[in-house]
């Protein structure tokens, strides 16, 4: 018996919703409010605190020590009442029992190569630092915390933060003063690490000081974090408030002091000649020496017992740093920034010759000219580059930069430098002077978000480097330079707190810089992106932007929805690897039997002949033996056009619309190109189509082609020419990590097979018989 089931066969529609790469970011970004708007601009009630400092500091060159007193004037512009203030004590990082020292893992790059796999490995420099920091008498010795009139204030120190309790809470709009007296030993920068410190020169028995994070600085209080009092662990840099500074630096009388701010008392600290040369540098188009090589070499030998006080003033800066030495050469020239003349100056010991007088000040000027184009006019009166022990670090108006030539100690006039040192010097100066824009002016929270200053700045550094000379060897910025990192394991998203970032340089500098370059060149376009980036700078200079403010501003000013881009590049660790899987060519079905049937026959005939058919060729067949067995079908194959076919077509044709007829008769080709997304990041499809007639064409398909399926997509292109090949991303614009699947048809990739010989085994017997060499150098010294 047959049972007929009436139930409809359940069709399966699994809800395998693919990941929506274009889902809007609103659910992740903070809700806009009156402090920060949905457009990414500061809101109508935006506020920030104001902190002014008056500091008197004495540099003890005999003991490498600072002793100082500061008066802080704190203005509460917030709508909140504050019962205490937090002060940052960055120098406490150098106490042996600091969290920085205690929380440091035993081996470097632990996150990349766990100990269990490769054993302990530590650079000599890192090992020296770890040892030195465990015995160094570092950190602040605070002798007074008082209010403006000298009355002691209750306070408690929590490692790198100090809370000062106010006797009366500070109301919105109110102002209070705090005095702090303190001293601390200066770290030896190359030994202890850090972003400032001293360098000792054995040859001439002199010190060079680069002084930073040297005074107790007010912590930030803002609308996003309240107090930003996350401890200083060494990597996540600084969150600071803007204010006006007066700093009186008391140093040995034969020292030259370079500093944030303008010198208020040149008559007391500069010679008549130096003042005249400085006047000459105003308006100078090339560097003018203020202290020459001969003068610096003479000064190196001086040991003055006198002291001088250099007074500097700086307005609207978020920090203050300075440098001091009797070794400094000093040069200066002028650069126009908007309506303002900026004095670009460099200070360096003779160890920096001949690189420094050639490249330093010119690099400062170049940076200001380039950054002004892409952000805003440099607003400060001076811009300084100092050579000393710090590899590269930025402060308002002043930067510390490390590269120097190699000196032949037997003949100190013989100096050479590597290509890397030369471009390393120009690049580091561009980078550090660039930081005066980001984050010294566009005041992002570095303790939290490293990419907001390093990434943005490294992006503009790339743009400025490319304007220095053709084919400038930029390390970061080009998409092709980031692919190894993008494909690497052990990554975290860019949107990760500074302290937890793995592969720091690539994550916080390289990847965001490249992402912005890709936005500019490939996704948004130069004109729109440059405008949007400038708009971000304009909106947030002298204010404190957060990540959402950047993301929102770029979209707001360009009308390009980039949520997918921020999501992919900033919130994920996916990479770009898009493959061309296949290319199919189709012509329209004309329905004309005399056209379509031969087409089908040709297709069939184009199939390879079966191996059996080939081997059976010449075989005696029955129908040859008995020809009477042949009939109509032996003469006509399955593709034969019949009268019925023709009649059917004639009647069908009458119903064709004109446009349908035109389309069916067009002798074009429909190419369908199939893509798969292997890496995860969705990106535009940039296609180079090469035709058989030798012509070629570039097609730019926006990333939105992936919006319904982020893993597979295809594109139909209608062309009147025959396609020979397709290349995806021919200019390497998207950081695609696997180029082998970017060609259709695939290409044979040229490479080199490295052929090597195995090393011979260690022969102890032979080595034991070798003659013992005497040490030539020791025997010479004995004579
Ligand atoms: Zn940097």
Taking only the tens place, the pLDDT of each residue in 596-648 is: 999 999 999 999 999 999 999 999 999 999 999 999 999 999 999 999 999 99
For residue 351, the Cα-to-chain-centroid distance in whole angstroms is: 30
State in Å: Cα 476 to ligand 1 middle.
Answer: 12
Name residues with Cβ closer than 5 Å to ligand 1, which is an ion: 454
Whose CA is closest to 323, among 394, 391, 260, 382? 260
CA 451 – ligand 1 centroid, Å? 9
Helix (H, G, I), strand (E, B) or coil at 169: strand
Q: What is the mean pLDDT of residues 142-168?
A: 98
| pLDDT grade for 88, boundaries at 50, 70 and 90 | very high
Q: Where residue 266 falls among pLDDT bands split at 50, 70, 90?
A: very high
CA 503, CA 508: separation in Å to the nearest integer? Answer: 8
pLDDT tens across 494-511, in order?
Answer: 999 999 999 999 999 999
State in Å, rounded, how far the first CA of the chain is from the last one.
120
Closest CA relative to residue 639, chosen from 590, 605, 589, 588: 605
Q: What is the CB neighbour count within 10 angstroms for residue 91?
A: 27
Q: Pairing between strand 206-211 and 322-325?
A: antiparallel
Q: What is the pLDDT of residues 562-603, one digit of tens each?
A: 999 999 999 999 999 999 999 999 888 889 999 999 999 999
Distance 405 CA to ligand 1 centre (A): 22
Ramachandran region of residue 477, left (φ > 0), alpha (ψ -120 to 50) or beta?
Answer: left
For residue 159, report the distance from its CA to the centre of ligand 1, in Å. Answer: 26
Residues 6+ apart with CB under 8 A from 525: none
Q: Which residues contact 467 (CB under 8 A, 6 or more apart)?
A: 366, 370
Are 264 and 473 in contact, with CB atoms under 8 Å apart?
Answer: no
439 CA to centre of ligand 1 in angstroms: 9
Per-residue model confidence as pLDDT tens digits over 702-747: 999 999 999 999 999 999 999 999 999 999 999 999 999 999 999 9
> What's the 242 CA to ligand 1 centre distance in angstroms?
20
pLDDT higher than 80, residue 656? yes
Ligand 1 centroid vs 15 CA: distance in angstroms? 47
Tell me the C-alpha distance between 148 and 163, whole Å.
17
Q: Hey, how many other C-beta atoms are within 10 angstroms of the C-beta on 253? A: 14
For residue 325, how far is its CA from the centre of ligand 1 (angstroms)? 25
Q: How far is the CA of 431 from the centre of ligand 1 (A)?
A: 6
- Name the 3-class secondary structure at 581: strand
Cβ atoms of 705 and 757 closer than 8 Å: no
**pLDDT greater than 70 at residue 12:** no
Phi then psi for residue 169, to 5 deg, are: -60, 145
| 778 or 263: which leads in pLDDT | 263
- What local confidence, expressed as pLDDT, does residue 776 receive? 56
Secondary structure element (H or E) that encloses residue 650, with its range? helix 643-654
User: How far, in Å, is the centroid of ligand 1 from the Cα of 435?
Assistant: 7
Q: Mean pLDDT across the chain, nearest whole number?
A: 94
CA of 441 to the centre of ligand 1 (A): 14
DSSP 648: H
Confidence (pLDDT) at 780: 45
Whether 671 has a pLDDT exceeding 60, the answer reads yes
pLDDT in tens, 338-377: 999 999 999 999 999 999 999 999 999 999 999 999 999 9
541 has a pLDDT exceeding 50: yes
Cα 285 to ligand 1 centroid, rounded to whole Å: 28
How high is the pLDDT of residue 782? 41
Yes or no: say if 367 and 405 are a contact pair by the CB < 8 Å rule.
no
Asked if residue 775 has pLDDT above 80, the reply is: no
Cα-to-centroid distance, 296 and ligand 1 (Å): 30
Distance of CA 438 from the midpoint of ligand 1 (Å): 9
Give the 3-state secondary structure of residue 699: strand
CA distance 427 to 420: 10
C-alpha closest to that of 622 among 636, 635, 634: 634
Section 533-547 average pLDDT: 98
Ligand 1 midpoint to CA 376 (Å): 19
Tokens standing for residue 72: 């802080």
Q: Confidence class of residue 4 from pLDDT cuts 50, 70 and 90?
A: low
Examine the pLDDT at 6 and tell me if it is beyond 60: no
* Ligand 1 center–CA 86 separation, angstroms: 26
How many Å apart are CA 465 and CA 488, to the nearest integer?
27
Contact 258, 322 (CB under 8 A): yes
Nearest partner of 352 among 369, 375, 327, 377, judged by Cα: 327
- 781 — pLDDT class (breaks 50, 70, 90): very low
Q: For residue 560, what pLDDT is reported? A: 98
**648 Cα to the center of ligand 1, angstroms:** 76
Task: Evaluate if residue 113 carries a pLDDT over 60.
Answer: no
Chain Cα centroid distance, residue 355: 26
Of the pLDDT bands very low, low, confident and very high (cuts 50, 70, 90), residue 488 is very high
pLDDT confidence tier of residue 666, bands split at 50, 70 and 90: confident
Q: Are 387 and 367 in contact (CB under 8 A)?
A: no
Q: Between these two residues, 281 and 113, which has the higher pLDDT value? A: 281
Asked if residue 377 has a cis previous peptide bond (ω within 30° of 0), the answer is: no
**What's the 393 CA to ligand 1 centre distance in angstroms?**
7
The partner residues of 206 in beta bridges, in order of sequence, read 201
What is the C-alpha to C-alpha distance for residues 670 and 723, in angstroms, rounded to an integer? 10
pLDDT score of 774: 77
Alpha carbons 408 and 741: distance in angstroms, whole number: 51
State the distance from the centre of ligand 1 to the C-alpha of 508, rounded, in angstroms: 9
Q: How far is the CA of 449 from the centre of ligand 1 (A)?
A: 12
CA distance 720 to 190: 67
Q: Is the pLDDT of residue 664 over 90?
A: no
Whole-number Å distance, alpha carbon 627 to ligand 1 midpoint, is 91
- DSSP secondary structure of 306-352: -EEEEEEEEEEES---EEEESS-EEEEEEEEETTEEEEEEEEE-GGG
Query: What distance in Å separates the CA atoms of residue 491 and residue 367, rounded to the nearest whole number?
Result: 32
The CA angle 117-119-121, to the nearest 5 degrees, is 125
CA of 718 to the centre of ligand 1 (A): 49
Q: pLDDT above 90 covers what percent of the chain? A: 86
- Centre of ligand 1 from the C-alpha of residue 475, in Å: 13
Cβ-proximal residues to 416 (8 Å cutoff; 6+ apart), any chain: 405, 406
Query: 697 CA to middle of ligand 1, Å?
Result: 40
What spacing in Å lies between the alpha carbon of 7 and ligand 1's midpoint? 69
Rounded to 10°, the helix 451-466/355-374 angle is 110
Reduced to 3 states (helix: H, G, I; strand: E, B; else coil), residue 298 is helix
3-state DSSP assignment of residue 36: strand
> Cβ atoms within 10 A of the Cβ of 138, count?
21
């Amino acid at each position: 018996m047959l049972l007929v089931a009436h139930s409809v066969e359940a069709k399966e529609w699994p809800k395998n919703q693919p990941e929506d790469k274009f889902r809007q970011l609103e659910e992740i970004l903070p809700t806009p409010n009156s402090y920060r708007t949905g457009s990414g601009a500061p809101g109508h009630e935006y506020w920030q605190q104001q902190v002014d400092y008056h500091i008197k500091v004495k540099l003890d060159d005999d003991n490498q020590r600072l002793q100082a007193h500061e008066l802080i004037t704190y203005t509460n512009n917030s709508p909140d009442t504050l019962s205490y203030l937090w002060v940052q004590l960055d120098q406490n990082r150098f106490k042996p029992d600091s969290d920085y020292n205690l929380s440091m893992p035993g081996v470097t790059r632990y996150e990349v190569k766990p100990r269990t796999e490769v054993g302990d490995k530590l650079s000599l420099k890192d090992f020296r630092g770890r040892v030195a920091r465990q015995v160094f008498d570092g950190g602040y010795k605070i002798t007074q915390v008082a209010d403006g009139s000298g009355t002691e204030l209750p306070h408690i120190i929590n490692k790198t933060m100090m809370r000062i309790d106010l006797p009366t809470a500070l109301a919105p709009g109110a102002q209070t003063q705090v005095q702090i007296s303190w001293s601390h030993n200066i770290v030896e920068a190359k030994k202890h690490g850090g972003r400032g410190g001293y360098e000792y020169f054995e040859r001439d028995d002199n010190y060079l000081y680069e002084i930073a994070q040297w005074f107790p600085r007010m912590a930030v209080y803002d609308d996003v974090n309240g107090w930003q009092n996350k401890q200083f662990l060494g990597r996540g840099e600084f969150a600071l408030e803007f204010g006006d500074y007066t700093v009186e630096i008391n140093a040995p009388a034969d020292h030259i002091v370079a500093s944030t701010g303008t010198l208020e008392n040149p008559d007391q600290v500069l010679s008549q000649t130096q003042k005249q040369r400085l006047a000459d540098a105003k308006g100078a188009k090339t560097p003018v020496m203020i202290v020459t090589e001969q003068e610096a070499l003479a000064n190196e030998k001086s040991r003055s017992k006198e002291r001088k006080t250099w007074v500097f003033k700086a307005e609207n800066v978020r920090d203050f740093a300075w440098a001091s030495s009797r070794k400094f050469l000093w040069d200066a020239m002028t650069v126009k920034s908007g309506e303002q003349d900026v004095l670009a100056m460099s200070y360096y010991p003779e160890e920096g010759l001949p690189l420094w007088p050639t490249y330093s000040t010119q690099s400062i000027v170049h940076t200001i000219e380039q950054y002004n184009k892409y952000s805003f006019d440099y607003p400060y009166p001076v811009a300084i580059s100092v050579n000393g022990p710090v590899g590269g670090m930025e402060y308002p108006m002043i930067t510390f930069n490390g590269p120097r030539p190699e000196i032949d100690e037997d003949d100190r006039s013989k100096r050479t430098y590597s290509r890397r040192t030369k471009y390393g010097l120009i690049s580091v100066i561009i980078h550090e002077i660039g930081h005066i824009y980001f984050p010294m002016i566009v005041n992002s929270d570095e303790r939290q978000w490293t990419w907001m200053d390093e990434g943005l700045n490294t992006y503009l550094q790339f743009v400025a480097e490319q304007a220095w000379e053709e084919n400038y060897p930029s390390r970061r910025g080009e998409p092709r330079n980031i692919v190894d990192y993008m494909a690497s394991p052990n990554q975290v998203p860019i949107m990760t707190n500074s302290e937890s970032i793995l592969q720091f340089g690539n994550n916080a500098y390289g990847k965001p810089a490249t992402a912005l370059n890709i936005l500019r060149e490939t996704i948004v376009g130069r004109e729109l992106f440059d405008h949007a980036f400038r708009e971000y700078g304009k909106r947030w200079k002298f204010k404190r932007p957060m990540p959402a403010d950047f993301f929102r501003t770029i979209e707001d000013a360009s009308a390009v929805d980039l949520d997918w881009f921020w999501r992919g590049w900033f919130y994920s660790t996916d990479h770009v690897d898009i493959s061309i899987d296949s290319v199919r060519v189709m012509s329209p079905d004309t329905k004309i039997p005399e056209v379509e049937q031969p087409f089908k026959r040709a297709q069939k005939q184009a199939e390879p002949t079966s191996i059996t058919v080939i081997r059976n060729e010449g075989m005696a067949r029955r129908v040859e033996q008995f020809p009477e067995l042949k009939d109509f079908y032996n003469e006509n194959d399955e593709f034969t056009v019949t009268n019925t076919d023709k009649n059917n077509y004639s009647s069908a044709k009458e119903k064709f619309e004109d446009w349908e007829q035109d389309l069916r008769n067009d002798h074009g080709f429909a190419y369908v190109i199939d893509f798969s997304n292997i890496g995860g990041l969705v990106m535009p499809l940039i296609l180079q189509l090469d035709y058989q007639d030798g012509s070629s064409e570039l097609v730019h398909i926006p990333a939105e082609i992936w919006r319904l399926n982020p893993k597979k997509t295809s594109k139909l292109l209608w062309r009147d020419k025959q396609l020979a090949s397709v290349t995806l991303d021919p200019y390497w614009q998207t950081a695609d990590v696997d180029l082998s699947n970017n060609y259709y048809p695939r290409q044979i990739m040229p490479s080199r097979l490295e052929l090597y010989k195995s090393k011979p085994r260690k022969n102890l017997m032979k080595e034991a018989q070798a003659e013992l060499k005497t040490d030539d150098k020791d025997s010479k010294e004995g004579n």
